[in-house]
Amino acid sequence: MEPRLNDTDQAILREIQDNGRATTTLIGEVVGVSRTYAANRIRRMREHGFLTEVAPNLYNITEKGRDALDE
């Protein structure tokens, strides 16, 4: 079963899609949540294939993540 993406998840995906790769610190600042909360949401989305980690603490959106934004 696919997880439901909340508004913060959507904002995180949009930020990464619009600005390319991003760190959890930058994402937290832009989205308006703590780095820890952003990291937890990112970990969950990575586990479900919405994001990939391209380097330590640096993420990229996947095709599945892009599709989730289009829904």
User: Going from the N-terminus, what domains does the chain have, and what CATH number goes with each?
Assistant: 7-70 (1.10.10.10)
- DSSP code of 2? P
- Where is pLDDT greater, at 71 or 14? 14
According to the model, what pLDDT value does residue 41 have?
95
Q: With 80 as the cut, is the pLDDT of residue 71 above it?
A: no
Provide DSSP, 3-52. Answer: PPP-HHHHHHHHHHHHHSSB-HHHHHHHHTS-HHHHHHHHHHHHHTTSEE
Q: With 90 as the cut, is the pLDDT of residue 29 above it?
A: yes
Q: How many CB atoms lie within 10 A of CB 66?
A: 13
The tally of CA atoms less than 13 A away on the side-chain side of residue 9 is: 19
Q: pTM of this prediction? A: 0.88
